[in-house]
Amino acid sequence: MFANYLIGLREGLEASLVVCILVAYLVKTDNRKALAPVWFGVGIAVAVALAFGAALQFGTQELTFEAQELIGGSLSIVAVGLVTWMVFWMRRTARHLKAELHGKLDAALSMGTGALVATAFLAVGREGIETSLFVWRSVDAADDGWRPLAGCLLGLLTAVVMGWLFYRGALRINLAKFFQWTGGMLVVVAAGVLAYGVHDLQEARFLGGLADKAFDISDSYPPDTWHATLLKGIFNFQPDPTVLQVVVWALYLIPTLVFFLMPVRSSSRTEEKPAAATGAETPAVGEQG
């Protein structure tokens, strides 16, 4: 549940920040009439994410066990790739999020309503699809699917509240540090999802080595204890992983964490962007609209 709360919080906060900066910019520059296309784009993105999640959940139920495992394992790897790209992208751009959106907003305003809808849709839709994919894997792997879903919904709700507080100026945190810490935790979570996906591919007979166990503590590992639930929820830990699972987990986790924890090189390109052509400054996140 905690891992899915973290997914919902981080992905939702990214989308919330983008939307609150969009709204604050339009209000600050007296373009309130452009708010309707923004909310329309957000609505379309949410609908697409929900439809994607429903298609994953109900579209695979009639397949054979091997086909389900093959699709599940493949989508796990895709989800890990998306999340890994996302955490590195946000690590690099969190310090300059407002500056990057500044240029995109100027271009969207000059192109009209359709561009504003597309900007809002892409900002929310990407995170929504990533969240649907990641949470679907957790629900599919869990014995009680409501826990991962509830964790994700709580995370998304927290993100929406935080986005609103940022907009009202009631909340100020160091976003670069926030995304660094949550990104590091997500890399650990992603490593577990990757290992679980490899196990699915082994069960689908797409990969070999299903009988080659790295260790097996099933007899002394009661799955209903609090620590077992915690390890399963955060790390996707299983008491009898295969050798291939452990190798893939380590080969992903160690170098990814090393690269993620390296200092970010400062880039002057985004810092030197001029103000908008209208002469209005982009409002800071947390500035009163």
pLDDT of amino acid 18: 73
Question: How many whole angstroms separate alpha carbon 4 and alpha carbon 193?
Answer: 12
Of 18, 10, 13, 11, residue with least CA distance to 116: 18
User: pLDDT tier at 218 (50, 70, 90 boundaries)?
Assistant: confident
In terms of pLDDT, which residue wins out, 269 or 93? 93
What six digits make up the tokens of 272?
Answer: 């030197």
Strands (E) in 129-223, as ranges, are none
What six digits make up the tokens of 268?
Answer: 């002057």
For tokens 């001029």, name the residue: 274
Question: How many whole angstroms separate alpha carbon 96 and alpha carbon 72?
Answer: 36
pLDDT of amino acid 213: 93
What six digits make up the tokens of 159?
Answer: 């993100």
Of 105, 152, 148, 147, residue with least CA distance to 128: 152
**DSSP secondary-structure letter at 281?**
P
Per-residue pLDDT tens over the stretch 219-232: 888 776 767 766 77
Per-residue pLDDT tens over the stretch 232-271: 766 778 889 999 999 999 999 999 999 998 876 655 444 4
pLDDT of amino acid 88: 84
pLDDT of amino acid 202: 93
Phi-psi region at 174: left, alpha or beta (left = phi > 0; alpha = psi -120 to 50): beta
Question: What is the arithmetic mean of pLDDT over 152-165?
Answer: 84
Contact 166, 98 (CB under 8 A): no
Helix (H, G, I), strand (E, B) or coil at 185: helix
pLDDT of amino acid 22: 76
